[in-house]
């Protein structure tokens, strides 16, 4: 069986790691194509090195651009790559422009497409990610759903026959790296002079929080007003937008810091008092580590984190300071994201259907 994965943005490299490992264990030939959507070393190369993923076989070097330009450039380049390799399956990941470009190119070349992390919905049509995931689900031949809620969404859209519940592959990699870390303290503590439990860890990068100057200023004010230092792991997008809008990222409680590699991120999260984010992956990682999360969005795709009390939505940034200072929720053993073996299930499903 010949599998071809298309990745391009940071969360996709994290999801690729357990898939690459499971594919190798099963003796599956695996070609990795990197679109180049993310190109900064701290958003890309560091994950390949750290998570033991082999260097991509093909790198499209697409880079940044408007949605149409970025997605179109990928589409144009992928036709030739798929034609050359003619895999049994193209595997696409999550909800980025790289996902929808690869799904569209493959389906038109009649190459079977599987969508990992299928069925997540925010029902917010202002989000580019929502269009990417809906279009990809409807184009794909096999929908690999991470949760029961995702399975229900796909069934409601008439896609039940193509759907399989496999669990969440980010859980696989999180458990493995968390266990390897053990009790190693976060390097951030020494670097920034912080105490365990004495800071919040924040990431903000979504278009809806960064593109509009007034919105970004409100979010920054909300973070700056917290009762403990807020370490903002600043994605290049928020750095660029803040500079463009003339907004300082180090006011009040805010401490600006470059993005972290994966194990460093988990260590920093585990030592924190709470997470503040608009990232999908980090909301779930916070839950899996049982660190309270405050999400600066109007909704979430990972509704289980909210239902179980570990995540609170704070669409109004003036409510962030109160939300993060809430008591730690009641412990739970519920495991809506699977058992840490989702990637093996994914590879089995693909091999069985090749
Ligand atoms: C993308 C995904 C988003 C995902 C996020 C993870 C889409 C539509 N969005 O958002 O779903 O949560 O990745 O990080 O695909 N930039 C750099 N260096 C880089 C990458 C980006 O400086 O390596 C800057 C550029 O100015 C670029 C901007 O960030 O214009 C946005 O990058 P882009 O890849 O378009 O989207 P993200 O915001 O990263």
pTM reported for the whole predicted model: 0.97
Cα(280) to ligand 1 centroid in Å equals 14
Stretches in the chain below the pLDDT threshold 50: none
Compute CA distances 52 → 1, 19, 227, whole Å: 22, 12, 38
Task: Indicate which atom in ligand 1 lies nearest the CA of residue 94.
Answer: 11
CA 2/CA 111 separation, integer angstroms? 12
Q: Tokens 């590879």 correspond to what residue?
A: 347
**105 ligand 1 Cβ < 6 A:** no
Cα(324) to ligand 1 centroid in Å equals 26
pLDDT of amino acid 52: 96
**In terms of Cα–Cα distance, which of 219, 213, 224, 218 is closest to 246?**
213
* Closest residue to atom 7 of ligand 1, CA basis: 96
CA 337/CA 163 separation, integer angstroms? 16
CA 253/CA 232 separation, integer angstroms? 10
DSSP E strand stretches across the chain: 2-7, 29-34, 58-59, 89-93, 113-116, 142-145, 163-165, 200-203, 230-233, 254-257, 274-277, 293-295, 311-313
Cα(132) to ligand 1 centroid in Å equals 14
pLDDT of amino acid 177: 97
pLDDT tens track for 201-231: 999 999 999 999 999 999 999 999 999 999 9
Ligand 1: residue of 11, 34, 44, 96 to mutate (most ligand atoms within 8 A of CB) is 96
The answer to whether the beta carbons of residues 142 and 148 sit under 8 Å apart is: no
pLDDT tens track for 227-260: 999 999 999 999 999 999 999 999 999 999 999 9
**87 ligand 1 Cβ < 6 A:** no
pLDDT of amino acid 158: 98
**205 ligand 1 Cβ < 6 A:** yes
Compute CA distances 78 → 59, 95, 96, 155, 254, whole Å: 10, 17, 15, 30, 41
Supply the residues annotated as catalytic.
205
CA 41, chain centre distance (Å):
17
* Closest residue to atom 2 of ligand 1, CA basis: 96
The answer to whether the beta carbons of residues 60 and 78 sit under 8 Å apart is: yes
């Amino acid at each position: 069986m010949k599998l071809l994965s298309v990745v391009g943005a940071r969360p996709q490299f994290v999801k690729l790691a357990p898939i690459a490992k499971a594919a190798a264990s099963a003796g599956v030939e695996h070609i990795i194509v990197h679109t180049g959507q993310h190109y900064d070393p701290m958003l890309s190369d560091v994950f390949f090195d750290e998570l033991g993923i082999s260097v991509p076989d093909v790198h499209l070097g697409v880079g940044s651009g408007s949605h149409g330009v970025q997605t179109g450039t990928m589409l144009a380049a992928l036709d030739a790559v798929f034609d050359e390799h003619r895999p049994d399956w193209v595997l696409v990941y999550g909800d980025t422009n790289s996902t929808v470009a690869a799904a569209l190119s493959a389906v038109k070349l009649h190459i079977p497409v599987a969508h990992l992390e299928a069925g997540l919905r925010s029902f917010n049509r202002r989000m580019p990610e929502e269009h990417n995931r809906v279009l990809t689900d409807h184009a794909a031949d096999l929908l690999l759903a991470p949760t029961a809620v995702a399975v229900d969404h796909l069934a409601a859209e008439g896609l039940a026959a193509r759907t399989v519940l496999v669990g969440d592959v980010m859980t696989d990699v999180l458990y493995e790296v968390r266990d390897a870390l053990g009790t190693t303290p976060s390097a951030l503590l020494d670097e920034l002079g912080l105490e365990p439990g004495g800071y919040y860890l924040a990431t903000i990068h979504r278009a809806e929080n960064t593109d509009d100057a007034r919105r970004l200023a409100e979010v920054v004010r909300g973070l700056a007003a917290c009762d403990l230092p807020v370490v903002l792991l600043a994605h290049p997008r928020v750095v660029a937008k803040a500079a463009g809008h003339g907004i300082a990222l180090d006011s009040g409680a805010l401490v600006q810091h470059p993005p972290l590699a994966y194990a460093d991120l988990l260590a920093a999260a585990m030592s924190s008092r709470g997470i503040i984010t608009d990232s999908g992956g980090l909301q779930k990682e916070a839950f899996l580590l049982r660190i309270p999360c405050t999400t600066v969005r109007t909704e979430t795709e990972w509704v289980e984190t909210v239902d179980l009390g570990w995540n609170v939505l704070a669409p109004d940034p003036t409510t962030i300071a109160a939300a993060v200072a809430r008591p730690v929720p009641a412990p739970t053993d519920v495991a809506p994201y699977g058992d840490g073996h989702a990637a093996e299930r994914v590879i089995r499903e693909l091999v069985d259907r090749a």
